[in-house]
Amino acid sequence: MDYSPLNSTVFHRTAFTHSQVSFPFFSSKTIPPHCLTLNKRPTILRCSNSSTSNSNNNMAGLPVKKKRKRYRKQYPGESEGITEEMRFVAMRLRNIKGKNVTSSSGSDTEADTENTQGEEEEGRGDDSETEKGNENCGDGETETWSSSMEGFLKYLVDSKLVFSTIERIVDESDDVAYSYFRKTGLGRSACLSKDLEWFSQRDFVVPEPSNPGVSYVTYLEELAEKSAPLFLSHFHNIYFSHIAGGQVIARKVSEQLLEGMELEFYKWEGDVEESLKGVREKLNMLGEHWSRDNRNKCLKEAAKSFKFLGQIVRLIIL
């Protein structure tokens, strides 16, 4: 075998042997070729596509593109609390019908939402459909109706049954959640008792509770046993509806039937808006600990409460 230094193939093979030869072309002395020991298989250099090699070697150094995280779209009012979500449900239900009910007896959130059960679909609404503070307003055509004393007494009797029921449940329940809503300053059952006594003393016939009121309290009693969040949804909306729309009814009925007399049902000690605000804050506080599924159920119950209340308000015109 020719070990001549001119034999480039052998020279390069031996030059890159790791342990036996230390790069002779950097040595200050000339090493005779026959002194090189080839007891290991020499490293063979092969040409390769430089672009492919660099690409493979740099894969680990490239930044990894993370999958973009998708966030759930919030419900209208969700950032402010469960009571604001329920308010959006109420306003959405009003806008579904596209009209407001006004008359000598006034308009009420309760009446506007009658026959809308099943339209709530998770309580979602559109910001464009509603604006805060428009609880007593509506767009579109107007339906007018007039009240009667007989119908108004039915309304008062059924209202008393509903308010006395929710107040009794809250006062007597062992559930800690209900304890936050005692002595809120919003209680109406005692005031209604005074009003009905006043009518009785003036020889008005005070009727027995009618089917809308009885049906609603039966539902509330069953619901209170099953779920505090769902019952409290009704609790809030009953007071909210009365305060938001009840004032219009009071004014119109008083003008038409009572010669301007103001009933106890529509009087509160202190600032009623502040009292309602306190109830909302407590309910929002509890709502922070409820799952999204429970919140969705509360929104559906809100729609049901407006349906029940609408049926009671309609007694005024029967």
Q: Check whether residue 36 and residue 123 sit in a common domain.
A: no
Read off φ and ψ for residue 36, nearest 5 degrees.
Answer: -75, 130
3-state secondary structure of 116: coil
Q: Check whether residue 53 and residue 133 sit in a common domain.
A: no
Distances (CA, A) of 54 to 57, 58, 302, 318: 5, 6, 64, 87
Q: Check whether residue 183 and residue 291 sit in a common domain.
A: yes
273 class by beta-carbon count within 10 Å (0-12 exposed, 13-18 middle, 19+ buried): exposed
C-alpha angle 278-122-234 in degrees, rounded to nearest 5: 35
254 class by beta-carbon count within 10 Å (0-12 exposed, 13-18 middle, 19+ buried): middle
Give me the numbers of helices (H) and strands (E) for the chain, helices first please: 11, 2
- Residue 306: which of 96, 94, 147 has the closest Cα? 94
- Which domain-ending residue is among 58, 73, 92? 58
**How many domains is the chain built from?**
2
Q: Check whether residue 111 and residue 252 sit in a common domain.
A: yes
Specify the DSSP class assigned to residue 221. H
Range of the domain at 44: 8-58
Q: Check whether residue 19 and residue 117 sit in a common domain.
A: no
Q: Residue 69's pLDDT is what?
A: 66
Q: What pTM was computed for the model?
A: 0.65
Distance CA 241, CA 110 (A): 6
3-state secondary structure of 232: helix
Mean pLDDT by 10 residues, the chain (318 residues): 50 46 49 53 54 53 68 71 86 63 37 38 38 37 67 95 97 93 93 95 94 97 95 95 83 85 89 92 93 92 93 87
Q: Check whether residue 153 and residue 273 sit in a common domain.
A: yes
Do residues 148 and 111 touch, judged by C-beta distance below 8 A?
A: no
C-alpha angle 58-64-69 in degrees, rounded to nearest 5: 170
Q: Residue 136's pLDDT is what?
A: 39
> Tokens 């309602």 label which residue?
276
Q: Check whether residue 130 and residue 230 sit in a common domain.
A: yes
Which sign, positive or negative, has the C-alpha torsion 178, 183, 189, 192?
negative
We report the CATH number of the domain holding residue 120 as: 1.20.910.10
Q: Is 264 part of any domain?
A: yes
Overall residue count recorded for the chain in this entry:
318
Q: Is 120 part of any domain?
A: yes
Distance CA 163, CA 105 (A): 21
Q: Is 3 part of any domain?
A: no
Q: Check whether residue 184 and residue 264 sit in a common domain.
A: yes
DSSP for 25-41 reads GG-SSPPPGGG----SP
